[in-house]
Amino acid sequence: MTSSSPRPGDLFAAAPLHATVTQSAAATPHALYGELFVAVQMGRVFGDGKSFVDARPRSAPALIRARFDAEHRLPGFSLADFVHAHFVLPGHDAVSGPQLGIREHIRALWPLLVREHTQAQQGDSLLPLPHPYVVPGGRFRELYYWDSYFTMLGLVADGRRDLAEDMLANFAHLIARHGFVPNASRSYMLSRSQPPFFFKMVELLHADDPATGFAVHLASLRAEHAFWMAGEATLAPGQAHRRVVRLADGALLNRYWDDRCTPREESWREDVETAEASGRPHEQVWRDLRAGAESGWDFSGRWCADPADIATIETTALAPVDLNALLAGLEAAIALGAARAGDTATAQAFNARATTRRQLLQTRFWRADVGPGHYADLNWRDAADPRPLTAAALVPLYLGLATPAQADAMAAQVRRHLLGANGLLTTALATGQQWDAPNGWAPLQWMAAQGLARHGHGELGRDIAARWCASVHRVYLATGRLLEKYDVAEDRPGGGGEYETQDGFGWTNGVFVAFKDGLLKA
C-alpha cells in the first residue's frame, strides 16, 4: 500500500460520510464487526463477498465481536466454523423450474421474487421498508433502485400494478427517510444512489396524467434533485463537490460519487486487490470503484483510462451522458409537477434548469469529430479526452432530448457499432467486465429501442427489441432460466465481472413483457 493508505483493518476509521447519510445510516457490517469482517472478506471464507454482508447474526454483534477477539488466536481456531456458528447465512434463490411458456413462467416468477421486511433486526444489513417489493433474484435479495423501474414495467403489463405501487411507495419512503434513494436497501449501500429513475416510476404509474403524478410526488422529486445537486451554490468554476461539477465557464453538470472512500463492503477483497495493483492512492481508487457502482454499470471500460485495466478506473473524472440526461428529465418533471401544483416560481426555475441541461447535452456531450457524431461521456477536467461510444449514448433519445440530426447520427452509429445478432451491445469494448461487449442488458435494450422509436427510427428500435427478446426466449428454452444479462453475439448467458450470472431476473422479466406488449405487440 502507499504510505498514505490505511491498513485494511483500520478502514472503518476512514473519512466520514456526508451529514445527510450519517444522520440516517444504520451500522454497516464493517462497523459492527471490525477485524472479524476484514478477516472473513480477505480470507475468502465465501466465494462471494456479498454472502457475509447479507448474513444475520445469531446474537448481538458486540457479543460476536468480543468472542472473536477472545478466540481467534487460540490453537485450532477455524474462521469458517466460527462464522457458521454465529451467523445465519443468506439463501441463494434459484428460480428456474418446469418448462412453462415464457410469459406464464414470468407471471409465476413475480410472487417468488416478492419480499417483505418491515422491522429492523439487530445486526441485519437489510433496511426495513413499509411495503412488499420485488427483488432482482439470485444474490440480489433486496430492493434495488434503477432495476426496479424496469421490473415495474412488467408488473404493470402483467396486471400487478399493486406491487408496482408498493415499490413506488417504498422509494418515496427511502427519500423521506434518507434524503435520497440508496443503491439498494442495505446499510452498506447508504453512501451512494443509482441512476435517478424515481420520476420515471411516477410517470409509469400516472401514464394518463404524468403532471398530476409529479405534483403528488413533488416533495420527493425535489428532495432527490437536491441530493444530486448538493454543494452547487458554493462551487467555483473548475471545481467539483460530491456529485456536482462546475466547468471552467460556469456550466453545472453531474457525476457519480460515493460518500465513502473505503473498499465496498460486499466486494472488500476485490477492491483491496485492485487498489494494490493500481499504483495510485488507495482512497481514490476505492472512491472511483464505489462511484462506478452508483452508476449501475459496475464495471465497464467506459470508466477507465485504460479500458482493459480496472485499476485505472476514473469514474469521478467523468460527467456521464446518461446521468445528465436523466437529471434533465427529473428537472422537467419537477417543472411539470410544480406547474400543476400552482407553484409558478418553481416551475419556471426548473424549466430553465431543464432547458440549460438539454443544451449542454446537445453541445458538451456531442462528439461531432467522429462521423456522423455520437453522444459520449465528458471528462470534465479534460474536454479533449475522446470518450468511447457506449449504449449510454441512447439515453438522451429515450428522454426526448436529441435533435433530429443527432438521432439520425445515433441510429447510424448503432447499426455500425452496437447492433449485435441478439440485440444492443453495451459497449464495443471487450474487456472481460460485465458492462462491456459481448454483453447486452435489459435496461439498455429498452431505452435504446424506445429512444430510437421516439425519434423516427421505429424499425431499428423494433429490430433491437425483437433480436433481444428472441435470444432471451431461446436461452429460456435451453436452460429454463431468465438471466440478468445475455451475450448478444451468441445464444448464451452473459459473463464477466465479479460474480456468476444470476437468474430471476427482475428487469429481464419486466422488459421482455413490456416489449411484447408494446413495440413487438402483434
Quote the pLDDT of residue 8: 33
Query: Could you give the CA distance from residue 222 to residue 370 in angstroms, rounded to a whole number?
Result: 37
Residue 260 in grid coordinates: 465513502
Quote the pLDDT of residue 91: 81
For residues 482 and 134, the answer to whether their CB atoms sit within 8 Å is no
Angle between helices 145-157 and 161-178 (to 10 degrees): 160
Quote the pLDDT of residue 97: 54
Residue reference for cell 429481464: 508
Q: How far is CA 161 from the centre of its chain?
A: 23
Q: Looking at 158, 484, 487, 503, which residue is catalytic? A: 484
Helix (H, G, I), strand (E, B) or coil at 79: helix
Quote the pLDDT of residue 99: 72
Query: Could you give the CA distance from residue 378 to residue 353 in angstroms, rounded to a whole number?
Result: 19
Quote the pLDDT of residue 480: 93
Alpha helices (runs of H) in 179-281, residue ranges in sequence order? 198-205, 210-216, 218-229, 268-278
Quote the pLDDT of residue 126: 98
Q: Looking at 142, 259, 298, 322, which residue is catalytic? A: 298
Q: What secondary structure does DSSP assign to 315-364, as a single string?
A: GGGEE-HHHHHHHHHHHHHHHHHHHHHT-HHHHHHHHHHHHHHHHHHHHT
Quote the pLDDT of residue 26: 82
For the chain of 522 residues, list the mean pLDDT of each consecutive stretch of 10.
35 36 66 98 96 98 98 98 97 64 96 96 96 97 98 98 98 98 98 98 98 98 98 97 97 98 98 98 98 98 98 98 98 98 98 98 95 96 94 98 98 98 98 98 98 98 98 95 96 94 96 96 76
Helix (H, G, I), strand (E, B) or coil at 126: strand
For this structure, is 484 an active site residue? yes
For this structure, is 298 an active site residue? yes
CA dist list (Å): 274 to 23, 271, 283, 396: 31, 5, 11, 33
Quote the pLDDT of residue 96: 56
Quote the pLDDT of residue 231: 97
Residues in the chain: 522
